[in-house]
Amino acid sequence: MSTFFFFVQLLNAIQYALILYLVASGLTLLLGIMGVINLAHGAFYMVGAYIAFAVVQQFGNFWLTLPAGILIGLALGALIEKFLLSRLEGADHLSQVLLSFGLILLINEGQRLIFGNDPHGVEVPKILAASIPLSNTLSYPVYRLFVCAVGIVFIIAIGLIMAKSRIGMMLRASAENRDMARAMGIDVKFVYLGVTAVGIACTVLAGVIAAPLASVYPGMGDQVLIQSFVVIVLGGIGSLSGALVGSLLLGLVDAFGKQFFPNYAAFLVYAAMIAVLIVRPQGLVRSRGT
Amino acid sequence: MNARLEKFDGAFLLLLAVAAAFVPFVLSGYEIKLATTITIQAGLAVALGFVVGPAGLTSVGHAAFYGVAAYILAMMSPKSGPADMLLTAAIAIFGAAAFALVVGAVSIRSRGMYFILMTIAFGQLGYHLFNDTGIGGKSDGSYVQFRPELHLFWTDVSFDKAPRFYMLVYVVVFLVVGACWWLRRSAFGSVLLAARDNEARTRAFGFSPYVVRLIAFVISGGMAGAMGYLTAAQHGFVAPQMLAWHASAFALVMVLIGGKDTTSGPAIGAILLLLAEEILQRWTEHWLVGVGLIIVVAVIAAPRGLVPFVAGLFAPKQAHHG
Amino acid sequence: MTALLHIKDFSAAYGEVPVVSSVSLDLKAGEIMALTGRNGMGKTTLLRGIMGLTPVRRGTMQFAAEDIAAQTTEMNSRAGIAYVPAGREIFGSLSVRENLIMCARGGEVGNAWTFERVMALFPRLGERINHGGKQLSGGEQQMLAIGRALMTNPRILLIDEATEGLAPLVAREIWRTLSEICASGMSAIIVDRDLKRLSRIVSGVAVMFRGEIAFAGTPAALLSDDALVRKYIGL
């Protein structure tokens, strides 16, 4: 393996890790702050990709897809919390698992209804369509660097919000001790609404920016869902920094696993999750919100 | 479980058993095949309900045990003639139970959402085992060319005719449901409930909650295997999707719709969900939208399930407190 | 003058077991009341009931002439009730500074509790301002829990087990600050077993016994009756 090839794989690993982090951070916040296990998270990722496809097809402008994805994601999340999740308060994981399973069926079938079963492509915007030559045979697409940039901006933004802002403090307080947070005047219901809306918007955004990287197809969120759960188990529930480490690890496993064991890449991911839980049955460090 | 719910549960089971016994005499052709499918799924749901309810284990991986047993039959079936039913069924059920023992031994140490993730991971591992590797015909699945035959002392019993196969399914599911009914009421069932509701007290009585749960998980896994075996025998075909977590979630939906705290509930859930699917499928190609809606509404409106809901309708007013 | 806090026939239960039954209590603005009694007699449940953390089974509860029995906890907090729970329950994943500024809510101009004023009240917290909540000693946690409650600029403080489990020197520090807070015009209900210290800052005392108020009167009247003290408090 040449140095350049290794370098390209490493970049791919990082780029995939950043997309995974966008998905996993929403998932881990939902779990850490609200205790909600959302198996439909992968389906929202697919929703994002189809939003990108539909917007580019309709308006021919990639840049519209970003605000469209964020707004639709926020709205979806708010509606789901307001009309579904808030009614499950005090219910067990079984209800959450099945509610999100019902949502998966609705979203998947809705997608088939509107877009059909054929995979679609989303064109890379012209300004990012170039490639940077690395050697005579290898080059690196600029769009992938753009994805990395979005991911890094997101990491910094959410990190700052959680660590420095009052909203971040309120989120951490609500995750740690719901009753005391309420006794201090925090409207926990509103916090939950915000967390669900933002958590789902992050995932939709991940789907939007991932759309031009590969094709847009039914069930494209399944793998991302399971991988982001592995990320959370690795990083600890509710921990954003843990999710970042977990995402990078999984990005490496995914990129290099596909090179060395093309048939067993999916295997490796599940085996990793099982291995972690065998060693630590209750997950790794259970820190929240930092 | 209170006495009224227990009475309703028993009455529903009796009603189901009697009604199901009439199927081969009343229905014919496609309808018997549908009834066979529904009866098998009811057995799977009851077996799963036994770990979700009394054992308090939300397994999202039961389809793996169901699917493994189906694959064992497919791999043991000769191309030239029917397999020996007793032998293949014994190995399939034993295989499913052994798989459940491995999965349970590792997963039951985790609680809550970690247990859920663990069972999903094992189920998906099973799915990829058959989907990605050469075992069992990859994603195309594999065929059971001939339905297994039962070798009795003096004769071979074939189940090629739909009514006779239905009777076989009826007897097996009846045994499984009866066993779950009896287990819930046995001393073992009480210990299981105690382990779910008050772990410390169970320990004080000298039982290990881990071991008790694991036993329930293995029994249920073996039962799920029996249902997978019957499904493979019925359709003559197995596919990796039988093991995937979506299949497990479908079985969980049946448990939830009927009520996890009863034996009859999951069976009723299976009947209602599959009948709804059947009707929706005739009506639209996008029938899964309807199923998704049913699930969402059921989770929100009746999270305890239909049987406890019906039993509650007949409750005296004061009994609602506490 | 109407009471700031008016409770009549308040009952609360955990499942079928009644924990507080038919408690009536009035607290005027600026009044400090002691709530005492043995463990498990319902003091914590009563405070949690006022805060809205334990649902009211029966009875009326009014704060500043508003009905609060059906209000959520966060609404009660915004109406001006602050709670210092027995286990302190500070946010361990937040630093001391974050614990305080997260809870900040404006108050009366000139008399508002601000970050600086809380720092002045508890100089020891100032030394540990960037430490995580988990790293604090019991006394520091109690200071932080009180400071955090003050940051919401409440009209009434509910303090459960003010000095339980604290070293005598630290307990003395807490009592000093409590009397300072009370002198500022704050209303409060303080739960503690130290009747002597309590009697110096409170004007009334209520004793709970098996979920009911068994005695209500002045601290002097309670302390002068040894039989009462032995029966209900067991010193």
> Distance between CA atoms of C89 and A184, rounded to whole angstroms?
11
Give C134 to chain A, closest Cα distance, Å.
12
Give C158 to chain B, closest Cα distance, Å.
29
Cβ pair B292:A283 closer than 8 A: no
State residue B265's pLDDT score. 94
Looking at the structure, tell me whether residues C165 and C149 fall in a common domain: no
Q: Which chains are adjacent to chain C, needing at least 3 Cβ pairs under 8 Å?
A: A, B
Residue C128 phi, psi (nearest 5): -120, 30
Joined together, the tokens standing for residue A205 give 């955004």
A-C contacts (CB, under 8 Å): 59
Asked whether B300 and A100 are in contact (CB, 8 A), the reply is no
Searching chain C, which residue's CA lies closest to the CA of residue B322?
C15
- With bands split at pLDDT 50, 70 and 90, how would you rate the model's confidence at B322? very low
Provide the residue type at A135 as one letter: S
Decide if A288 is inside a domain.
Answer: no
CATH code, domain carrying A168: 1.10.3470
> Distance between CA atoms of B286 and B263, rounded to whole angstroms?
32
Provide the residue type at B179 as one letter: A
Give the end-to-end CA distance of chain C in Å, rounded to a whole number: 36
Structural domain of C52: 1-80+156-170+186-235
Looking at the structure, tell me whether residues C8 and C66 fall in a common domain: yes
Asked whether C69 and C59 are in contact (CB, 8 A), the reply is yes
Facing residue for A282 by CB, picked from B114, B120, B129:
B114
Cβ pair B111:A282 closer than 8 A: yes
Looking at the structure, tell me whether residues C146 and C106 fall in a common domain: yes
> Distance between CA atoms of B292 and A40, rounded to whole angstroms?
12
Q: What percent of chain A has pLDDT over 70?
A: 97
Q: What total number of domains does chain C contain?
A: 2
Decide if C142 is inside a domain.
Answer: yes
State residue C147's pLDDT score. 95
Asked whether B308 and B262 are in contact (CB, 8 A), the reply is yes
- With bands split at pLDDT 50, 70 and 90, how would you rate the model's confidence at B318? very low
Decide if C226 is inside a domain.
Answer: yes
Decide if A290 is inside a domain.
Answer: no
Decide if A287 is inside a domain.
Answer: no
Q: Residue C200 class from Cβ within 10 Å (0-12 exposed, 13-18 middle, 19+ buried)?
A: exposed
State residue C18's pLDDT score. 75
Q: Which residues, numbered 168 to 227 in chain C, qualify as contacts with chain A under a Cβ-Cβ cut-off of 8 Å?
A: none
Contacts 24+ apart (CB under 8 A), C218-222: C219/C34, C219/C195, C222/C195
State residue C1's pLDDT score. 52
Locus of tokens 């940051």 = C151
Q: Residue C231 class from Cβ within 10 Å (0-12 exposed, 13-18 middle, 19+ buried)?
A: middle
Q: Residue A30 class from Cβ within 10 Å (0-12 exposed, 13-18 middle, 19+ buried)?
A: buried
State residue A287's pLDDT score. 45
Three-class SS of residue A110? helix
Decide if C178 is inside a domain.
Answer: no
Three-class SS of residue B215? helix
Asked whether A100 and A37 are in contact (CB, 8 A), the reply is yes
Looking at the structure, tell me whether residues C218 and C115 fall in a common domain: no
Joined together, the tokens standing for residue C78 give 């915004």
Decide if A75 is inside a domain.
Answer: yes
Best mutation target among A161, A166, A184 (most C Cβ atoms within 10 Å) is A184
Searching chain C, which residue's CA lies closest to the CA of residue A289?
C93
> Distance between CA atoms of B221 and B248, rounded to whole angstroms?
12
> Distance between CA atoms of A24 and B158, rounded to whole angstroms?
53
Looking at the structure, tell me whether residues C71 and C161 fall in a common domain: yes
Looking at the structure, tell me whether residues C129 and C62 fall in a common domain: no
Of residues C50 and B303, more confidence is placed in: C50
Locus of tokens 């004061």 = B318
Q: What total number of domains does chain A contain?
A: 1
Structural domain of A72: 3-279
> Distance between CA atoms of A211 and A50, rounded to whole angstroms?
8
> Distance between CA atoms of A122 and A213, rounded to whole angstroms?
8
Looking at the structure, tell me whether residues C21 and C54 fall in a common domain: yes
Cβ pair C53:A183 closer than 8 A: yes
Three-class SS of residue C208? strand
CATH code, domain carrying C66: 3.40.50.300
A79 interfaces chain B, CB cutoff of 8 Å: no
Give A43 to chain B, closest Cα distance, Å.
13
Please name which of A61, A110, A74 lies closest in space to residue A203, comparing C-alpha atoms: A74
Q: What percent of chain B has pLDDT over 70?
A: 98
From chain B, pick out residues whose CB is under 8 angstroms from the CB of A275: none
B322 interfaces chain C, CB cutoff of 8 Å: yes
Decide if A155 is inside a domain.
Answer: yes
Searching chain C, which residue's CA lies closest to the CA of residue A165?
C102
Domain boundary among C130, C154, C178: C154
Q: Which residues, numbered 16 to 75 in chain B, qualify as contacts with chain A under a Cβ-Cβ cut-off of 8 Å?
A: 52, 58, 60
Best mutation target among A41, A83, A94, A234 (most B Cβ atoms within 10 Å) is A94
pLDDT digits (tens, 9 = 90+) for B253-268: 999 999 999 999 999 9
Locus of tokens 């990287």 = A213
pLDDT means over runs of 10, chain C (235 residues): 86 79 90 89 91 88 90 93 93 93 83 91 92 89 95 94 90 92 90 88 91 89 86 75
Beta strands at C81-84 and B156-157: parallel, antiparallel or unpaired: unpaired
From chain C, pick out residues whose CB is under 8 angstroms from the CB of B322: 15-16
Decide if C181 is inside a domain.
Answer: no
pLDDT digits (tens, 9 = 90+) for B153-210: 878 888 888 889 999 999 999 999 999 999 999 999 989 998 888 888 788 778 889 9
Which residues, given as ranges, of chain A have pLDDT below 50?
287-290
Give B321 to chain C, closest Cα distance, Å.
8
Please name which of A87, A105, A106, A108 lies closest in space to residue A96, comparing C-alpha atoms: A87
Asked whether A41 and A174 are in contact (CB, 8 A), the reply is no
State residue B321's pLDDT score. 41
From chain A, pick out residues whose CB is under 8 angstroms from the CB of C78: 185
Decide if C65 is inside a domain.
Answer: yes
Query: Quick one: angle between helices B209-235 and B62-76, nearest 10?
Result: 50
Decide if C176 is inside a domain.
Answer: no
Joined together, the tokens standing for residue C90 give 């500070």
Looking at the structure, tell me whether residues C70 and C92 fall in a common domain: no
Cβ pair C93:A288 closer than 8 A: yes
Locus of tokens 């005296």 = B316
Decide if A289 is inside a domain.
Answer: no
Looking at the structure, tell me whether residues C2 and C29 fall in a common domain: yes
CA A266 vs CA A233, B241, C50: distances in Å:
17, 15, 54
Best mutation target among A79, A82, A97 (most B Cβ atoms within 10 Å) is A97
> B311 pLDDT exceeds 90?
no
